[in-house]
Amino acid sequence: MESHDPLELFHDYWKTARQKNDPVADSLSLATVDDQNKPHVRTVLLKTFRDGQIGFVTKAGGKKIAHIAHCSDVECCLSWPTLSLQVRMRCTTTEMENSILDYLWSLRPRDAKIVYHLGFYQSAAIASYQLLEKKFQELKNKLKGKKDIPRSKFYLGFILHPYAIEFLYHNKSRLNKRELYEKKGEVWVKTILTP
């Protein structure tokens, strides 16, 4: 076993997947558990990697926020077909700082900002999709002359702090190469796993 820092390796792979226009370069499957210890998984977008901190954003009131409040440990999985690579991470989570949220908000397309101002909690039941479209169009018309749309109070984010990262390099023969990095104090320890 050797010591390594896999976060730089992860960052390099993510950048490469984006440069290769991998269709799922930013897709991160996020698994949480609810207060009944039932698992839930969904795809979120990987939005930032700064100073070893991996971040995603979400909308207030959603189930994932309640799950993270119940258990701040999550598991993530990314799969990049252009690199023949899968990455799994076990992480703790903390709320994203306002400065990072402000920056990410500034990058959002205008319509995506308007969606956050609709006032709906994520995953809430509604009468119909047409109602959602109607409310979106009404708000869009109302904000038509407004140059800047302020960050919504519903716009939240989380930072992932990995303590275990596994890289699985796919091989056509199925003799896949698997490298597991586990954080021991401030040091990453590498182990090779069987396929």
**Selection from 162, 181, 175, 183 nearest residue 192 by Cα:** 181
Closest C-alpha among 2, 1, 7 to residue 163: 7
Per-residue pLDDT of the chain (195 residues; tens, 9 = 90+): 444 789 999 999 999 999 999 999 999 999 999 999 999 999 999 999 988 789 999 998 889 999 999 999 999 999 999 999 999 999 999 999 999 999 999 999 999 999 999 988 888 888 999 999 999 999 999 999 888 999 999 999 999 999 999 999 999 999 999 999 999 999 999 999 999
pLDDT tens for residues 125-134?
889 999 999 9
Q: Which one of 2.30.110.10, 3.40.430.10, 2.60.120.260, 3.30.70.870 gives the CATH number of domain 2-108+152-193?
A: 2.30.110.10
pTM, whole model, 2 decimals?
0.89
Domain ranges of the chain: 2-108+152-193
Q: 3-class DSSP state for residue 125?
A: coil
CB contact at 8 A, 34 and 63: yes
